[in-house]
Amino acid sequence: MRWQDPRVPTWADLLAEGRSLLSSPGFASYEAEELLAFAAGRPRAWFHARRREEADASDASRFLALAARRASGEPLQYLLGEWEFLGRTFRVDPRALIPRGETGAIVEMARAAAPAARAILDAGTGSGILAVSLALERPAARVVAVDRSEAALALARTNASLHGVSGRVFFVASDWLSGLAPRPLFDLAVANPPYVPRLDAPHIDRTVSDHEPHLALFGGDDGLDAVRVLLRELPGRLQPGAPFLFEIGYGQASEVSGLVEASSLFSLEDVRLDPAGIPRTVVARRR
């Protein structure tokens, strides 16, 4: 997209154009500023005192192209190439799901559920946000991060290197836990598995369904295929008494609770609500 006005645009002109492109309710009010800051390599506050100054032509071109892509539905996080999770910045791109705030509850709840854990499993690591965050919180811990997607594992390795924990986070390409020895190696397991029901696919926001990896989104017809696999495969890899913390979707709490309670090797300890009041984070404990 190009600037159509014969005048050289000011920073204020560019922001106004970006806000016009991103004016529908599906876009947050700050997105135009975020994209302009990224395109120009400046903090958002830098533009406030320079609104009437002429914009750099190459910065303007980059910004308008990014704003057009965002207006077409590409996620802001993928355009920026990074996003924050629990106060830390992670690389993000279409190889893995975008980090979401509610997933931070897994890390926070692990502090109470397994305060002394030193051998940790992250099943379905994606971008590696859980594995890296847990490694940073526990300097003596070693984390095994498993994913079926080699592309996601490459992104997770980048994040581990970015945060200086490559020596304590080990990445394994595996279809869930099939690539791990069936021995009680871990004293904490976490997962943000795919849990969107495939039958709900037509109703998912297209920004998500058209851009985020389906392998990490959809968990079978009812969304719980991965949960069933993990409840079956995890007991042989967990120490007795070790917790398994995982995320679930809207309306799944009752069925997931039943799956955990039906297992002879897990007991249901907690189901935590997210800020919207939706049951989101489950704590099951190995008997």
pLDDT confidence of residue 49: 87
Contacts of 226 (CB under 8 A, 6+ apart): 124, 176, 191, 193, 194, 195, 219, 220
* Count of domains for the chain: 2
Q: Pick out the chain residues at pLDDT < 50.
A: none
φ/ψ of residue 262, rounded to 5: -75, -15
3-state secondary structure of 248: coil
Q: Indicate whether 78 belongs to any domain.
A: no
One domain for residues 39 and 129 = no
How far apart are the C-alpha atoms of 263 and 286, rounded to whole Å? 10
φ/ψ of residue 83, rounded to 5: -155, 160
One domain for residues 100 and 148 = yes
Last residue of a domain, one of 20, 43, 72: 72
Using one digit for the tens of pLDDT, what is the confidence trace for 81-136?
Answer: 999 999 999 999 999 999 999 999 999 999 999 999 999 999 999 999 999 999 99
One domain for residues 106 and 31 = no
pTM for the complete prediction?
0.94
pLDDT confidence of residue 3: 55
Residue-number span of the structural domain to which 185 is assigned: 86-286
pLDDT confidence of residue 1: 59
One domain for residues 33 and 92 = no
One domain for residues 131 and 261 = yes
From residue 14, alpha-carbon distances to 6, 55, 78, 127, 197 in Å are: 14, 8, 21, 32, 41
How far apart are the C-alpha atoms of 130 and 126, rounded to whole Å? 9
3-state secondary structure of 11: helix
pLDDT confidence of residue 258: 97
